[in-house]
Amino acid sequence: MATTNFHEITDPTHFQGLLSADLNRVSLINFWAPWAEPCKQMNEVVQELAKKYPAALVLNVEAEEQNDISESFEIEAVPSFIILRGHTLLERISGADAPALTQALAKHVAGPSYNPLSRTDQAPAPPSNVHLPVESDEKQETQEELDARMQAIMNKSKVVLLMKGTPEAPRCGFSRKLSLVLKDQGISYTHFNILSDERVRQGLKVMNNWPTFPQLIINGELVGGLDIVQEMVDSGELAEMVA
C-alpha cells in the first residue's frame, strides 16, 4: 500500500517543495539507480521504513536522472542515503547497509523500533561482492608506502580499471558503462574498487592528475575516463594499445 510520506522525486522544484514544507520534519533521501542491484534491495527496505515511520518524509531520488540534486549532496555512488531535519544534515549512510540505515532513522525519528531484516519477507542481504568504504590506517602507512601501493595496483595487469564498485556491482553509472565497453571489446582487465580505500582513492587523483573515476590504466599509465576511452574505441586506438 502506498504511503503519503513516500515520494518519487520528479525535479528539483518538487524536491525543495517537499523538504521546505516542514523544517522540523526528519527526511530520509534515498539516492538510487535502476541498474544497480543493491539499490533494488535497499529500495524495498526504504519502502518498509516509510510505512513504519509515517512521521518521516521519505524521498526517492534517481541519482543520475536528478543530477542537480545528487551534486548538491555530493553523491558519488549509489546507493547512498541522507537523513535531514529540515535542511540540516543529521547523518549520511553509504552502501547497501540496511541495519545501519534502520538504526540511523530510528535514532532520529520518534516512533516504533523496527528492523526490516527481522521480517519473514525481509529484503535479501547485500551480495558479498558489494564493498563498503573502509578507512586505511593512515598513521602506519607513509606517503612512500602509499605511492608504492598505488603503483602496484596500476601495474597489476596490462589493463586495470579503477572504478567505483566492481564490474558485477558498479556503484556509479560511468564505472558501469566503462566496464561494459571493455567487455564489449573483449578486453581482459583487472579492476580495483576505489571506494574500498579512501587514501588510495584520493592519492590516485593526485598521482594521475585526474580528479574523477573511473580511470583506465594501460601499462601502468593513465589513459583517461569514459569519454576518452570511447573515442579510442571508435578510432581503433584502444585495440592497438591492448594488442
CATH superfamily assigned to domain 6-116: Glutaredoxin (3.40.30.10)
57 and 19 Cβ atoms separated by less than 8 Å: yes
Q: What is the pLDDT of residues 95-150, one digit of tens each?
A: 999 999 999 999 999 644 334 343 333 333 333 333 334 444 446 789 999 999 99
Distance set, CA 117 to CA 61, 102, 122 (Å): 23, 9, 5
Domain boundaries, the chain: 6-116, 143-242
Euclidean distance between CA atoms 14 and 238, whole angstroms: 43
Euclidean distance between CA atoms 223 and 165, whole angstroms: 20
- At residue 3 the predicted structure's pLDDT band, cuts being 50, 70 and 90, is low
Cα angle vertex 5, ends 4, 9, to 5°?
105
pLDDT confidence of residue 111: 44
Sheet holding 159-163, edge to edge: 190-193, 159-163, 215-218, 221-224
Lowest mean pLDDT among 65-74, 150-159, 226-235: 65-74
Class of domain 143-242: alpha beta
Euclidean distance between CA atoms 47 and 58, whole angstroms: 8
pLDDT over 70 for what percent of the chain?
Answer: 86
Euclidean distance between CA atoms 34 and 101, whole angstroms: 20
pLDDT confidence of residue 115: 42
Question: Mean pLDDT across the stretch 79-107?
Answer: 93
> Which helix or strand (DSSP H or E) is residue 44 part of?
helix 37-52
